[in-house]
């Protein structure tokens, strides 16, 4: 049985991470001109923020297609020929019957028995403000996009920190895993959205091409793990773990605290050619 948490926090203040905004703007932190443009964009956006998020908690299990189609005990070793590829977890089954298909997502969930489905948005007024800024200048439009990107990430981090505090002792929240990353098809937003009921809870809708509206929004899965689970602060080579190819929104764990080091989220990512990679 799942737990639903609906949140609407229109008046909530989001701390502005100017350093992150400058990084998204691809500007040097010491660039005074870029900083002025970013500051101006923030001043135009801060009064338009309508942050909201919604969460549902489900039981879950990572399993293979073979296990889904033929549930039951596995044959004893040597009694039947088996294709090892058939036994590789490639989907995640929720306790309400929802199935997400992705080897990377199944690997991310691992042995976790529960997860959160999560959705967050800055609201439609931010989209309108960004469109107005685009009519003014290319530089202002780019700065607005960078500021909004930094704000939605900070807001999601804040939401996750609050969810972490609500978990019982010994349980920890993993980093956010969103549709469109690795081999999890963006089209599976069509499965996630009705389950999370995004339209009614936070006013977040999906276009025919699976783009979110408002644009500055995030949906994700967040697995809930035990304190005894392996510490994920250890870097894993990208060739051995495809998850490292898309983990720009991952948090470094430090002494099992997922939110203690938010400025180092690129440390575990093996995608060294990323244009937004922190130095």
Q: Per residue in 68-110, pLDDT tens?
A: 876 666 555 554 445 555 678 999 999 999 999 999 999 999 9
pLDDT for residue 277: 59
Give the whole-angstrom CA distance, residue 109 versus residue 221.
9
Identify which has the larger pLDDT, 172 or 250: 172
User: What percent of the chain has pLDDT above 70?
Assistant: 71
SS3 breakdown of the chain: % helix, strand, coil, rounded to 5? 40, 20, 45
Summarised one tens digit per residue, pLDDT across range 164-173 is 999 999 999 9
CATH architecture assigned to 3-66+86-237: 3-Layer(aba) Sandwich (3.40)
Structure tokens at 140: 């202002």
pLDDT for residue 240: 42
| Number of residues that make up the chain | 279
pTM, entire model: 0.79
pLDDT for residue 92: 97
Is the pLDDT score of 268 beyond 50?
no
Mean model confidence pLDDT for the chain: 81
* pLDDT band (50, 70, 90) for residue 13: confident
| DSSP one-letter code for 207 | -
233 burial via Cβ count (<10 Å: 0-12, 13-18, 19+): middle
Summarised one tens digit per residue, pLDDT across range 125-169 is 999 999 999 998 999 999 999 999 999 999 999 999 999 999 999
């Amino acid at each position: 049985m799942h737990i639903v948490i609906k949140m609407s926090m229109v008046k909530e203040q989001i701390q502005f991470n100017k350093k992150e905004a400058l990084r998204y703007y691809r500007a040097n932190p010491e660039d005074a001109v870029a900083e002025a443009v970013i500051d101006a964009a923030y001043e135009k956006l801060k009064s338009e923020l309508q942050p909201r998020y919604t969460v549902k908690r489900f039981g879950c299990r990572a399993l293979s297609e073979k296990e889904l189609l033929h549930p039951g005990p596995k044959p004893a070793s040597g009694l039947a020929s088996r294709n090892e590829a058939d036994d590789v977890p490639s989907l995640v089954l929720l306790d309400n019957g929802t199935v997400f298909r992705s080897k990377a997502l199944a690997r991310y969930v691992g042995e976790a028995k529960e997860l959160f489905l999560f959705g967050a948005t800055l609201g439609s007024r931010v989209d309108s403000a960004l469109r107005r800024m685009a009519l003014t200048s290319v530089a202002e439009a780019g700065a607005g996009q960078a500021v909004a990107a930094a704000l939605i990430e900070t807001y999601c981090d804040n939401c996750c920190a609050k969810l972490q505090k609500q978990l019982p002792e010994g349980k920890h929240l993993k980093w956010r895993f969103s549709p469109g990353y690795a081999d999890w098809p963006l089209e599976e937003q069509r499965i996630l959205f009705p389950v999370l009921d995004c339209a009614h809870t936070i006013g977040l809708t999906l276009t025919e091409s699976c783009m979110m509206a408002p644009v500055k929004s995030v949906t994700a899965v967040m697995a809930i793990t035990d304190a005894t689970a392996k510490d994920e602060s250890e870097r894993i080579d990208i060739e051995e773990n495809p998850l490292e190819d898309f983990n720009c929104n991952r948090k470094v764990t430090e002494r099992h605290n997922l939110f203690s080091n938010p400025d180092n989220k690129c440390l575990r990512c093996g995608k060294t050619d990323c244009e937004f990679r922190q130095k």
